[in-house]
């Protein structure tokens, strides 16, 4: 199949609005053929708390997040389905991002604990040398979190903290969210026209 295959994991850290925007951008991107969406139970809770989304039929989740037309490219996979194609390195993908990434999921990945599909798919991306971005969010951080970040970085993962930049003078949350997601996509080899670039100051 031509076009990129991207895996998006949503875990139980605050920032569900970022997951929604990332999926919208991926769905609209002609270079992307397929997006797999996996949501942990914590992620489900966040989607409900922060976006008011709790579809009875989970197959409807992509449409609830990005709209029915845009959702055609998105495939929802259950986090308990550790037998899904993504659980094997033999299934080709072009990268994975976990956004938002809880510190629990960070810790599991750093420890090689692949007990659900998000964690297993992340492990597969690391062992196959494919891009893996972990957009963790919390503050403050303890030494366990810091050591886990270092372990993931040493294994080839990218610590991509959910920390938007303020230097473009964005007045709206929407713009901050979009610009952060554009940075994520650029790191996955999908630079966006919407991404603003710092031109330098005198
Ligand atoms: C409303 C809400 C907000 C949360 N925010 C965060 C957060 O920002 N960062 C974090 O690491 N955990 C956060 N948590 C805790 C995680 O959801 C919890 O540790 C969960 O077990 C993570 O599991 P998961 O990674 O499989 O989703 C939050 C929980 C709730 C209910």
Q: What is the pLDDT along the chain (202 residues), one digit of tens a residue?
A: 589 999 999 999 999 999 999 999 999 999 999 999 999 999 999 999 999 999 999 999 999 999 999 999 999 999 999 999 999 999 999 999 999 999 999 999 999 999 999 999 999 999 999 999 999 999 999 999 999 999 999 999 999 999 999 888 888 999 999 999 999 999 999 999 999 988 888 8
pTM, rounded to two decimals: 0.97
CATH number of the domain within which 164 lies: 3.40.50.1950
Q: What is d(CA 92, CA 178) in angstroms, rounded to the nearest whole number?
A: 28
**Residue 8 main-chain phi, psi, to 5 deg:** -120, 120
Assigned domain for 106 exists: yes
**Protein residues with CB under 6 Å of any ligand 1 atom:** 11-14, 40, 42-43, 45-46, 49, 102-105, 137-138
Q: Name the residue of 8, 12, 49 whose CB sits within 8 Å of the most ligand 1 atoms, as the mutation to test its pocket.
A: 12
Ligand 1 atom with minimal separation from the 49 CA:
1
Assigned domain for 194 exists: no
CA of 41 to the centre of ligand 1 (A): 10
Look up residue 59 and give its DSSP letter: G
Host domain of residue 11: 4-187
Q: What is d(CA 149, CA 127) in angstroms, rounded to the nearest whole number?
A: 17
Instruction: Count up the domains in the chain and report the number.
Output: 1
Assigned domain for 172 exists: yes
Assigned domain for 193 exists: no
Assigned domain for 192 exists: no
Q: Is 134 helix (H, G, I), strand (E, B) or coil?
A: strand
Assigned domain for 199 exists: no
Assigned domain for 196 exists: no
Taking CA atoms only, the protein residue closest to ligand 1 atom 25 is 105
Assigned domain for 129 exists: yes
């Amino acid at each position: 199949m031509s076009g990129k295959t991207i895996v998006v994991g949503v875990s139980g850290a605050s920032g569900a609005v970022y997951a929604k925007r990332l999926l919208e951008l991926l769905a609209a991107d002609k270079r992307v053929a397929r997006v797999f969406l996996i949501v942990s139970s914590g992620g489900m809770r966040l989607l409900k708390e922060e976006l008011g989304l709790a579809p009875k039929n989970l197959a409807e989740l992509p449409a609830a997040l990005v709209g029915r037309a845009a959702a055609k490219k998105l495939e929802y996979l259950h986090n308990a389905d550790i037998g899904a194609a993504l659980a094997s390195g033999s299934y080709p993908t072009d990268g994975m991002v976990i956004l938002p990434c809880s510190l629990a999921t960070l810790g599991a990945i750093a420890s090689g604990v692949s007990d659900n599909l998000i964690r297993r798919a992340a492990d597969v991306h690391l062992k196959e040398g494919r891009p893996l971005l972990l957009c963790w969010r919390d503050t403050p951080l303890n030494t366990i979190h810091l050591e886990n970040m270092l372990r993931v970085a040493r294994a080839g993962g990218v610590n991509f903290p959910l920390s938007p930049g303020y230097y473009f003078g964005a007045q709206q949350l929407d713009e901050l969210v979009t610009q952060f997601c554009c940075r994520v996509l650029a790191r996955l080899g999908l630079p966006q026209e919407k991404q603003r670039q710092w031109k330098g100051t005198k």
